[in-house]
A and B are shown apart, each in its own frame.
Chain A
Amino acid sequence: EAGVTQFPSHSVIEKGQTVTLRCDPISGHDNLYWYRRVMGKEIKFLLHFVKESKQDESGMPNNRFLAERTGGTYSTLKVQPAELEDSGVYFCASSQEPQTYNEQFFGPGTRLTVL
């Protein structure tokens, strides 16, 4: 069974540019989460999709971040315009069960560097 995949694995962009991260969850998983770790700090929650709907987006830092999950399959996270403090690793996770503390399957992450 294929796990959660993320693309790209690395992205280096300049401040002010736009970057789009993609996450493909495990097939059949309705729940999709985005997290990030910036500047060596702790992993922080960004948002939670249930199918195509945003269940909780309280962790999104500001309106430069836009997440979508059209059709309830893969998800994209767009940062526009990117700032230096956005540098970090962005993780995606998916789960079958609705309970948030149950097992989540994480992807390998996308390392974003904003210069």
Chain B
Amino acid sequence: LAKTTQPISMDSYEGQEVNITCSHNNIATNDYITWYQQFPSQGPRFIIQGYKTKVTNEVASLFIPADRKSSTLSLPRVSLSDTAVYYCLVGDPYSSASKIIFGSGTRLSIRP
């Protein structure tokens, strides 16, 4: 079971690019990397998922180096509404749901 390590908190300003790195040194061959975003008083919301190299969607990009021992969630030109907690999850999509670990997440604060 891959354990993840993320910064507890990060601060940035509107219009900046924000990169949140997640370490997962024990990632297994079948594991995927998934990021969720959670606003106060809401449930987590899926942002992006990847296995290797780079994945991009309308919300974010996910960069995964060749050794897959870390990954970086990149949020381009953040706004105040991007203030949230971001969770990095690592696991085999075909494993039991009981293996899902959200961890403490990274609390991102965006300032004007």
Contacts and interface: CB of A to CB of B under 8 A. Distances in A.
A100 B94 contact: yes
Contact of B100 (A92, A101, A106): A101
Contacts of B96: 48, 55-56, 58, 100
Contact of B104 (A42, A100, A101): A42
Nearest to A41: B104
What's the interface size class on B, roughly? 20 to 34
A38 to B, nearest CB: 13
A109 B44 CA distance: 10
Instruction: State the majority secondary structure of interface residues on A.
Output: loop
A74 interface: no
B98 A58 contact: yes
What are the nearest 3 A-B pairs in CB distance? A106-B43, A99-B93, A101-B93
17 contacts: A42-B104, A48-B96, A56-B96, A58-B98, A93-B44, A99-B94, A100-B93, A100-B94, A100-B95, A100-B96, A100-B97, A101-B95, A101-B100, A102-B49, A106-B43, A107-B43, A109-B41
